Amino acid sequence: MPMRFFHQNFRPTHYVGGIFVITFLLLFCGSALFSLFSVQGNYSWQALIHDQYLHHVLAFSLWQAFLSAVLSVLFGFLVARAFFYQHFNGKRFILKLFSLTFVLPSLVAIFGLLGVYGGSGWLAKFSIFLGSDWTPNIYGLTGILIAHLFFNIPLACKMFLQCLQSIPVQQRQLAAQLNLRGWQFIRLIELPYLRQQFFSAFMLIFMLCFTSFAIVLTLGGGPKYTTLEVAIYQAILFEFDLAKAALFALLQCVICFMLFIFSSLWGNASTVALHSKNHWQDKQSSAVQIWQGCLIVVVTGFVLLPLFNTAVSAFFSGKFFSLWASEQLWRALGYSFLIAPTAALLAVLMSVILLLLVRRLTWLHYHLFAQSLLNIGTMILAIPTLVLAIGLFMLLREIDFSTIHLFAIVVCCNALMAMPFVLRILAVPMQNNMLYYEKLCESLNIQGWQRFKLIEWQALRAPMQYAFALACTLSLGDFTAIALFGSQDFTSLPHLLYQQLGHYRSQEASVTAFILLLLCLLIFVVIERQKEETND
């Protein structure tokens, strides 16, 4: 780049904010990881290598993640085909319901699943009604798989549905003329488009299940069904073996980083918008229609029943009104309403500032450098939130924590957790603004706040509102950071719900779970509205 061009286009405001965000991310994550490396204790790397319990935990972590990913991809593919080829009233509502599972707090889903598949749930009562003495056991590997399938079948379904909708109409019509049916049609027409998503969906779900925390902590049922992330939490909270927890956390970070790199290299897939208009499908046979209709009913019931149980349990708990007098509930509500929007605002603010630097570097043709900086913003995908929280806990353990300290740590952890999703939402519209208006703004010398208000805001308003609502919902339901730093005086709705479930206060838990569900539903409505405006 010529020096004259650099001087003409150089403005410190283009770089200072982005450099500050990058420095903050590196210092925040780096100091947490450094504190893990610096912990001294009796538990060493040699003990880590020969620890049979760790071998079992690591094997189970990988095995449950593999099973969850395989089953989610398989059922997600079948359900996606069923939704694509069957037309019925309420189809759009069910697909929106599937999107709700993405932002639903894990503990709310767990409460609903316990009410349906637990020892005293609906399935057990139906078994008694039929005269059977069989009692379902949701704890252990079975419960973990059920919870993971609840969250990940809808995710895989939406990913495969995108691919099915990207198949050109001409190819479907040609296949119909050539009388391609059944497996031959799937192999020759659909698989070339679906193949690009199979590995992406598998790796994404595998990473989500490998780092699953609240689900395994609640439904694991004992040391036999413990994952690495839960073992880290137990080493801190129950054994207070900081050296052991640090090495476990570093091992978790290394594995997640390897999975992240592997999925980035091999799991990139194109995505298309979900539009159901102007699609042509060949008529399915009666047997296929019956099979796909039954599959839709079963999977919809699988997703809907736990949510319905949560609402019903709250209204018939007998404590729906009396619990509102609880000081603990109002404290949890207050902190949740403070933590969630603050973390969301921080995530959006850091993402916008970082993207301003990234798009400026892209405009100056530093594409590789810009992509590297963008990857730093998504590093939380390779560093689990619990690992960050534990590193900060060890770094600051000599400090007498006040509520303000705890609040700041939890907000920062939740903001970093939401940043990858916010960056993905805002990256394209901010890049488009640069392409469309950069030369105009330079010629008219419009910059800073004036540029944002006059030029940027019209295109970024809907995406930013969508990103803020999504980040707010993710933070509202997050249990990872608050599980380590929470207490009776500093709590949140997920933290309170976990305490109620742990003490078998199911009636109180039903009300707390319903409040969380209702809040997520309200924000979800906002998310869907802003999503539609963004797509338009």
Q: Please give the average per-residue pLDDT across 253-281, as a whole number.
A: 61
Q: What is the pLDDT of residue 535?
A: 59
Q: What is the pLDDT of residue 532?
A: 67
Asked if 496 contacts 512 with a C-beta cutoff of 8 angstroms, the reply is: yes
Q: What is the pLDDT of residues 39-51, one digit of tens each?
A: 766 666 677 777 7
Q: What is the pLDDT of residue 12?
A: 55
Q: Is the pLDDT of residue 526 over 70?
A: yes
Q: What is the pLDDT of residue 79?
A: 93
Asked if 161 contacts 274 with a C-beta cutoff of 8 angstroms, the reply is: yes
More confident residue, 252 or 73: 73
Three-state secondary-structure class, residue 270:
coil
Q: Give the chain's mean pLDDT.
A: 81
More confident residue, 340 or 479: 340
Q: What is the pLDDT of residue 536?
A: 57
Dihedral Cα 415, 420, 423, 424, nearest 10 deg: -140
Helix axes 16-38, 385-395, angle to 10 degrees: 70
Q: What is the pLDDT of residue 281?
A: 65
Asked if 319 contacts 390 with a C-beta cutoff of 8 angstroms, the reply is: no
Q: What is the pLDDT of residue 500?
A: 86
Q: Is the pLDDT of residue 272 over 70?
A: no
The CA distance from 490 to 385, in Å, is 19
Backbone φ, ψ for residue 490 (5° rounding):
-125, 105
Three-state secondary-structure class, residue 237:
helix
Categorize the per-residue pLDDT at 221 as very low, low, confident or very high, splitting at 50, 70 and 90: low
Of the candidates 451, 409, 444, the one whose C-alpha atom is nearest the C-alpha of residue 430 is 451
Q: What is the pLDDT of residue 225?
A: 87
Q: What is the pLDDT of residue 1?
A: 43
Residue with tokens 């736990």: 306
Categorize the per-residue pLDDT at 273 as very low, low, confident or very high, splitting at 50, 70 and 90: very low
Q: What is the pLDDT of residue 398?
A: 73
Q: Is the pLDDT of residue 271 over 50?
A: no
The whole model's pTM is what?
0.82
- Measured from the Cβ of residue 367, the count of other Cβ atoms closer than 10 Å reads 11
Asked if 167 contacts 189 with a C-beta cutoff of 8 angstroms, the reply is: yes
Q: Please give the average per-residue pLDDT across 273-277, as a whole number.
A: 42
Of the candidates 357, 379, 307, 342, the one whose C-alpha atom is nearest the C-alpha of residue 476 is 342
Amino acid found at 149: L
Q: Is the pLDDT of residue 266 over 70?
A: no
Q: What is the pLDDT of residue 75?
A: 94
- Looking at 128-142, 372-386, 488-502, which range is the least confident one? 372-386
Q: Please give the average per-residue pLDDT across 339-346, as a whole number.
A: 93
Q: Please give the average per-residue pLDDT across 376-388, as a whole number.
A: 76
The CA distance from 317 to 335, in Å, is 25
Q: What is the pLDDT of residue 274?
A: 39
Q: What is the pLDDT of residue 520?
A: 87
- Looking at 37-46, 93-102, 522-531, which range is the least confident one? 37-46
Q: What is the pLDDT of residue 265?
A: 67
Q: What is the pLDDT of residue 267?
A: 52
Q: What is the pLDDT of residue 17?
A: 78
Q: What percent of the chain clears pLDDT 90, i.e. is strictly above it?
A: 14
Asked if 191 contacts 215 with a C-beta cutoff of 8 angstroms, the reply is: no
Q: Is the pLDDT of residue 5 over 80?
A: no
- Looking at 140-144, 159-163, 281-285, 287-291, which range is the least confident one? 281-285
The CA distance from 499 to 519, in Å, is 20
Burial 181-205 (b: 16+ CB within 10 A, else e): eeeebeeebbeebbebbbbbbbbbb
Q: What is the pLDDT of residue 90?
A: 84
Q: What is the pLDDT of residues 465-499, one digit of tens each?
A: 888 988 998 898 888 888 878 888 888 989 988 88
Q: Is the pLDDT of residue 378 over 50?
A: yes
Q: What is the pLDDT of residue 280?
A: 58
Q: What is the pLDDT of residues 141-172, one digit of tens each?
A: 999 999 999 999 998 998 888 888 777 777 77
Q: Is the pLDDT of residue 196 over 80?
A: no
